[in-house]
A and B are shown apart, each in its own frame.
Chain A
């Protein structure tokens, strides 16, 4: 068998293929993105970037109902968007296998919250399985399809950042090739009118009882014998931390974390002197174990609810004694993320900061405009919220009287198509009064540059119909739709001021490609030292290619030629003409 090093996400993609999976749909979101990216390179299946997670899951439901094994992939907050179809697909069942791959982000490396997806499994009364490395990611993806079909249920395949993005050794397995089942047509099962749904709810409850029984003997749950002084119940990445921190301890490793095997858990608990339940985020397992009447000695009474774990944290918290530690070097500068040199968002935020506008923000690279030196994003809640929240702000401000300037919504192209459109329809329909700026950089930037309905290319990179954002906004009924050049800050400032003076919604669309995705590289600027007055106006561009060297009473600015991308925003801020493109 061939060995390879794969990330958990790549391994899930391979597991999908080995399971004979045929249809996969996803919306990009860290840390889930690479599953569909990997699948988009394979022939003989359908893999697509859907416009949002709800659509992705509905496409996968349709795939399953058509008779082929199907999967939807998303990050944890995407499951909120997809929760509506998920809760009712739990009632209808699936025909062919249906898996929802959801990736949580403990520690919030790239997320706006730290919610625990396992609660959705309990809410929907459907199974949740959790791999603990890449090898299991492959195996569990296959197991998820078989479980789905055996019990006629959607299955949540839940990972966390350290499972999805860590790489470990994987061996190829045998491929299955399940025959297509053909289209499902069953009025009582797939048409969720109340009369049918009432019967299906009974089925759901019965299925849950049967799943609980199955969990007792499922190979997904296994006991690793060992020292019985402290026994551990754990799953996912926490299993690895427990094994490293307490290599000789007895462990009940749960591959399926909902529903739980009560008999197995009670038997294991009675075989050890003290019981520890080790899980990141919520006490999802622990509360269920306690509800069985089992005493948990170590759980969230010692382990944190927030952030991710490590082998060191598990060892320290369970043993109750801190390990020796060296102090980090004190007083080091932080290095927060920032716009890439040359990024089209920089010019926009230079203007928004200058005009001191109130900005209703959204999810994407442009969220970095909330950080200094711009500090020009004042809310960031969820995908698409910028436009709808700006509408609410404008209405709320109007009700309070006064003469405060109208709010500005900033949203990217992919996020606009994901769920910004509905907010704009709502704003236009309800007589809104705000400026909506769509920063169209022709890609899904923050997740590494994925295609979407506006790029003119499919997930495979082949030509696809290209949605025209300006025409769409006009069709919605927006009267004032203008194209802007976010690199031309003088012109941009003029346009924003004009729109502030108008009544009603204005939509401004910047069409400048992502410099990272499209490898845009213009000639670097340089500073003529003799001409630079050291006024620091250019530093408002907030670009890491710039640096200031104090000298005499003032100093001078230099541009790192290896970092500068030649966008010219800093040069437009310069009043002495010291910055030129040689």
Chain B
């Protein structure tokens, strides 16, 4: 298969890295070459965070550049809009509609863009917005948003579901596995 490129964006602390870790593990289980890129350190302190996963027969670069992404998984609307120009013409977007203000918004110096959902819709043909945070809270913990979004992205991934399910078991700590599986199922139902 040709290389499949995924971008996962969000706000530091939302658990973006776990989603990319599970997808990378699933690609490995599928017998593919895979590379995953992430950023640690200062950017994780409530800043904009981007993780990238690429898999296929042979992958060289670990990063996804403009116009290359097949799929964008957004944990927050503004952070989804920020990376839309990385998508291919037929690239898909799955994103959480729950907003998180920037520090500029919180100190009253800026306004959160009211039209962010319309902007995303106007630029992307295949787009699925939904309140993933609500599903995560219902599943039992707001921190399971990453599994909710993974569930919603399942039908857009060229990977068999069993590989994803096994990757979840291999990756998520046992103590919180059940609640994460519940969140994954809730996200999957959202997109069927």
Chain A residues at the B interface, C-beta cutoff of 8 Å: 3-5, 30-31, 33, 109-110, 133, 161-162, 165-169, 237, 240-241, 243-244, 310-313, 323-329, 331-340, 365, 368, 371-373, 446-448, 536, 539-540, 542-548, 560, 562-563
Report yes or no: A312 in contact with B34, Cβ–Cβ below 8 A: no
Closest 8 CB pairs of A and B: A110-B41, A30-B41, A337-B47, A166-B62, A312-B65, A337-B45, A244-B60, A110-B42
B192 sits at the interface (CB 8 A): no
When distances are taken between beta carbons in the complex, the residues of chain B under 8 Å from A539 are: 106-108
Report yes or no: B78 in contact with A333, Cβ–Cβ below 8 A: yes
Report yes or no: B123 in contact with A338, Cβ–Cβ below 8 A: no
Report yes or no: A446 in contact with B60, Cβ–Cβ below 8 A: no
Complex Cα distance, B73 from A389, in Å, reads: 45
Contact with A along B51-71 (1 / 0, CB 8 A): 000000001111101111000
When distances are taken between beta carbons in the complex, the residues of chain B under 8 Å from A110 are: 39-43
When distances are taken between beta carbons in the complex, the residues of chain B under 8 Å from A33 are: 40
- 15 pairs, A vs B, C-beta closer than 8 Å: A3-B28, A5-B34, A5-B36, A167-B62, A241-B60, A243-B61, A327-B85, A329-B82, A329-B85, A329-B119, A334-B104, A335-B11, A446-B42, A447-B40, A547-B101
Report yes or no: B85 in contact with A325, Cβ–Cβ below 8 A: yes
Complex Cα distance, B107 from A501, in Å, reads: 32
Knowing that A110-B41, A326-B85, A544-B106 touch, tell me 13 more A-B residue pairs with CB under 8 angstroms.
A31-B41, A110-B39, A133-B62, A167-B36, A168-B62, A240-B60, A334-B48, A336-B102, A340-B13, A340-B46, A373-B109, A546-B101, A546-B106
Q: What number of A-B contacts does a CB cutoff of 8 Å give?
A: 190
The contact of B100 among A313, A542, A543, A563, by CB within 8 Å, is A563
**Measured between C-beta atoms, what is the minimum distance from B44 to chain A in Å?**
7
**Measured between C-beta atoms, what is the minimum distance from B21 to chain A in Å?**
8
When distances are taken between beta carbons in the complex, the residues of chain B under 8 Å from A447 are: 40-41
Report yes or no: B24 in contact with A5, Cβ–Cβ below 8 A: yes
The contact of A544 among B44, B66, B103, by CB within 8 Å, is B103
Report yes or no: B66 in contact with A326, Cβ–Cβ below 8 A: yes
When distances are taken between beta carbons in the complex, the residues of chain B under 8 Å from A332 are: 78, 81-82, 113
The contact of A562 among B60, B84, B110, B142, by CB within 8 Å, is B142
Q: Nearest A residue to B103 by beta-carbon distance?
A: A338
The contact of A337 among B33, B43, B112, by CB within 8 Å, is B43
Complex Cα distance, B110 from A331, in Å, reads: 12
The contact of B35 among A168, A543, A562, by CB within 8 Å, is A168
Q: Nearest A residue to B79 by beta-carbon distance?
A: A335
The count of residues in chain B whose C-beta lies closer than 8 Å to any C-beta of chain A is 57
**Measured between C-beta atoms, what is the minimum distance from B141 to chain A in Å?**
11
B105 sits at the interface (CB 8 A): yes
When distances are taken between beta carbons in the complex, the residues of chain B under 8 Å from A331 are: 113
When distances are taken between beta carbons in the complex, the residues of chain A under 8 Å from B59 are: 168
Report yes or no: B46 in contact with A337, Cβ–Cβ below 8 A: yes
Report yes or no: B45 in contact with A544, Cβ–Cβ below 8 A: no
Contact with A along B15-49 (1 / 0, CB 8 A): 00000010011001000011111111111111110
B132 sits at the interface (CB 8 A): no
The contact of A312 among B39, B45, B66, B107, by CB within 8 Å, is B66
Report yes or no: A328 in contact with B61, Cβ–Cβ below 8 A: no
Given contacts A167-B24, A368-B45, A542-B106, contact A311 B65 (CB under 8 A): yes
**Measured between C-beta atoms, what is the minimum distance from A354 to chain B in Å?**
14
Q: Nearest B residue to A30 by beta-carbon distance?
A: B41
B12 sits at the interface (CB 8 A): yes
When distances are taken between beta carbons in the complex, the residues of chain B under 8 Å from A325 are: 66-67, 85
The contact of A372 among B11, B84, B109, B133, by CB within 8 Å, is B109
Complex Cα distance, B36 from A165, in Å, reads: 9
Complex Cα distance, B107 from A540, in Å, reads: 6
Report yes or no: B100 in contact with A544, Cβ–Cβ below 8 A: yes
Q: Nearest B residue to A168 by beta-carbon distance?
A: B35
Given contacts A325-B85, A326-B66, A329-B119, contact A240 B106 (CB under 8 A): no
The contact of A365 among B24, B45, B104, by CB within 8 Å, is B45
Complex Cα distance, B2 from A42, in Å, reads: 38
**Measured between C-beta atoms, what is the minimum distance from A164 to chain B in Å?**
9
When distances are taken between beta carbons in the complex, the residues of chain B under 8 Å from A109 are: 39-43
When distances are taken between beta carbons in the complex, the residues of chain A under 8 Å from B87 are: 326
When distances are taken between beta carbons in the complex, the residues of chain B under 8 Å from A328 are: 82, 84-85
Complex Cα distance, B12 from A428, in Å, reads: 40
**Measured between C-beta atoms, what is the minimum distance from B14 to chain A in Å?**
11
Report yes or no: A339 in contact with B36, Cβ–Cβ below 8 A: no
Complex Cα distance, B107 from A161, in Å, reads: 32
Q: Nearest A residue to B109 by beta-carbon distance?
A: A372
- Most B CB atoms within 10 A — which of A313, A328, A365, A448? A328
**Measured between C-beta atoms, what is the minimum distance from B22 to chain A in Å?**
11
Complex Cα distance, B48 from A243, in Å, reads: 29
**Measured between C-beta atoms, what is the minimum distance from A174 to chain B in Å?**
22
Report yes or no: B24 in contact with A336, Cβ–Cβ below 8 A: no
The contact of B45 among A244, A323, A338, by CB within 8 Å, is A338
Q: Nearest B residue to A545 by beta-carbon distance?
A: B106
Given contacts A329-B85, A332-B81, contact A5 B40 (CB under 8 A): no
Task: Report B81-138 residues with CB < 8 Å from chain A CB.
Answer: 81-82, 84-85, 87, 100-110, 112-113, 119, 123, 133, 137
- Most A CB atoms within 10 A — which of B42, B78, B112, B142? B42
- Most A CB atoms within 10 A — which of B11, B45, B67, B78? B45
- Most B CB atoms within 10 A — which of A4, A244, A329? A329
When distances are taken between beta carbons in the complex, the residues of chain A under 8 Å from B25 are: 5
Report yes or no: A333 in contact with B85, Cβ–Cβ below 8 A: no
**Measured between C-beta atoms, what is the minimum distance from A102 to chain B in Å?**
16
When distances are taken between beta carbons in the complex, the residues of chain A under 8 Å from B37 are: 162, 165-167
Complex Cα distance, B42 from A30, in Å, reads: 9
When distances are taken between beta carbons in the complex, the residues of chain A under 8 Å from B46 are: 335, 337-340, 544
**Measured between C-beta atoms, what is the minimum distance from A533 to chain B in Å?**
14
- Most B CB atoms within 10 A — which of A5, A241, A333, A373? A333
Q: Nearest A residue to B36 by beta-carbon distance?
A: A167
**Measured between C-beta atoms, what is the minimum distance from A272 to chain B in Å?**
20
